Structures are given as structure tokens and as C-alpha cells.
Amino acid sequence: MRFLLGKHSVRFSKVEFCLITGLKFGVIPDTARYDMVENGIHERYFQGRDIEFEELRAVLRIDERDKVPVWQWRLVEDLDAFDAFPWGAHVYSRSIYCFKHALDGRRERFEQRQQERGADVHTTET
């Protein structure tokens, strides 16, 4: 992914991501093969059921609405697997998705507000 900063084209790739975050890359393992720990966090607090992030937010103060995937619970219960997991690859792909969609719909709303104000709107497709 590249960004224009002034007159400079700046690259944001896996290399820069690793340098900034310190997270590692690698092949993402099949997390379905991990076993849930008997009487682990997921079972003790949530009876092993799917939960919304909203429920988790009360405990961890997270402001998300997605479900916590079972594979993430498995990693929480197995710290060796958690430490070995290539979080960089996972977080990088989610970050790129968020970057690409961060402004979805905002351009149209900006142009509409400008037109309502009577401003001359000149935009170019990218």
C-alpha cells in the first residue's frame, strides 16, 4: 500500500508493519486443531458459548461488536500457541482492510455537504 505525503510516495508493506509493531509473520496455523482447556477462561466465564465483543467489553473494555472467534479462545488457553502465532500476518491483513475502507462513504457525504453550502466541489477518481 502506498500513500502520498506531500510530494513523496510512502510505502506501507509487511516490512514496515513488522518494524513498527514488532509482530512476527509466518504461516497462519490451523487453529481448529487446538483443544479448548477444560475449565479455562472461555468455559468458566462464558460457558463455552459464542459471545459478542459487547459482553467481553464489560470485562476488557473493548468497544467492538463482532463475535470472538473460537480459534482466538483456543490461543488464549494455550500460551505457547499464542506466543508462536504469527500475529503480524493476522493484524496486518486486518489493518490493510481497515485502511482501504476507512473512508467508505465519506467522500460522498463531504461532497453533499459542500454542495449544500454552495461550495465548488472538484474531485478526481483515484
64 or 83, greater pLDDT:
83
HSE at residue 78, side-chain half, CA atoms within 13 A, is 17
Q: What is this structure's pTM?
A: 0.43
Query: For residue 76, what pLDDT is reported?
Result: 79
Q: Report pLDDT digits (tens) over 65-90.
A: 566 777 887 887 888 888 888 888 88
Please spell the DSSP secondary structure of 40-57, one letter per residue: -HHHHHHTT---BHHHHH
Closest by CA to 12, choosing from 71, 69, 96, is 96
